[in-house]
Structure 1
Amino acid sequence: MKETLAAHRYAKALFLAARDRRGVSLDAVKKKMGGLCRALAADHAVREAAGSPLIPFEKKCSALCGVLGDRTDPASELLGRFVRLLLSKKRASLLPLIAARFESVVEESRQALKAVVGSAAPLTEGDLRSLEAGLSRLTGKKVSAEVSVRPELIGGLVVRAGDLVIDNTLKSRLKDMKTLLGS
């Protein structure tokens, strides 16, 4: 809980810094932050450098900031400073959570919402547009859906969009029926 709150605060601070900094694109910061998180996930040496108390601060900074690439790029420069701050506060382990929160804050600022949809069967383009339109009416924001096919749902959809969760799957209904009949 404390880590989630801290990650949200850091993400909000990064958003405000990126928004107010001339020449920095929110999309560029989001992309570079995603690349940094992928590097942390994929490269054991970078991940170890970030978390090890035995590695000097400057080596940690150069390992993580090296992933960002061109330091003359405004987004890289901003993220480099942000990474140094996280390392100095011993919060580098929060980077993946901060990246996810940062993306949410950016989408929220654009009155947009990303929905993660699980479907038992592939959706047609028309079904997807209809679903996005319905979710947009429901939330009052522009919704873009990311669909994954999950056969274990048996039938129907499960939608996660921000705090909203809609579970209209056959698997869920069968589970509810089993509970109802069992009691």
Structure 2
Amino acid sequence: YAKALYAISKESGSLSNIQAQLLSLSEALNDQGIRDFINNPDITLSQKKTTINKVLESVKLASEVKSFVNLLIDRKRVTLLPEIATVFGDIVDNDNGVTRGSVISAKPLTDEALASLENKITQVLKKKIVLTAKEDPSMIAGVVAKVGGWTFDDSLETHLKNLNEELLNH
């Protein structure tokens, strides 16, 4: 499903718009009330489609997204939308040469620090890197970045562990 929507989106030149709309719809599907409505066997497919289309009309989605959601409803696959959106995003990233990763720090990173870290890892891996920052108050200081199979550990804990090993070996 994601590949088909990607091909249509790329052809129409609206990749980023459709990707953003898919993410918004995916977040909406995380709402338990909406999931209950979609999974309710007492509500006919026609009623579900009518109700969902009314909602889609009110939020001004691209015609490709509306058609895609209707296809998923018809095939009883609309609950797969979050996974489809994730795969769609992965395809877009791959096409753009982007690799995503995460960075964990004791305190929030500034935008400048995050951009600097992305640039450094981009230089090392020779790929465009986009990091998602997370906080871990249990860290003393430093950062740990994970991208693909790579881990870049510049945490104080690791530095102290390495220092301890050096001292014990000498």
RMSD across aligned positions (CA): 3.0
Change (3 A) 1:67 1:118: farther
Deviations 1:74-97 (A, max 9, x none): x62111221122222222221111
Aligned counterpart, 2:53: 65
CA separation of 1:50 and 1:159: change in aligned 2, threshold 3 A? farther
Matched, 1:127 2:113: yes
1:3-42 pair list within 5 angstroms: 10-20=1-11, 22=12, 24-42=13-31
Q: TM-score, normalised by structure 1?
A: 0.71
Pairing partner for 2:130 from 144, 147, 154 = 144
d(CA) in 1 for partners of 2:63, 2:141: 48
Aligned counterpart, 1:54: 42
In the TM superposition, residue 160 of structure 1 has moved relative to its aligned partner by 3.6
Unmatched segments (≥5 aa) in structure 1: 1-9, 178-183
Q: CA deviation at 1:12?
A: 1.9
Task: Give the fraction of aligned pairs with identical amino acids, expressed as a percent.
Answer: 30
CA separation in 2, counterparts of 1:66 and 1:113?
A: 37
Indicate if the aligned counterparts of 1:118 and 1:150 stay in contact, CA closer than 8 A: yes
Please report the TM-score for the alignment, with normalisation by the length of structure 2: 0.75
Q: Quote the Cα distance in structure 1 between the aligned partners of 2:35 and 2:152.
A: 36
Separation in structure 1 between the aligned mates of residue 146 and residue 47 of structure 2, nearest angstrom: 40
Change (3 A) 1:57 1:144: same
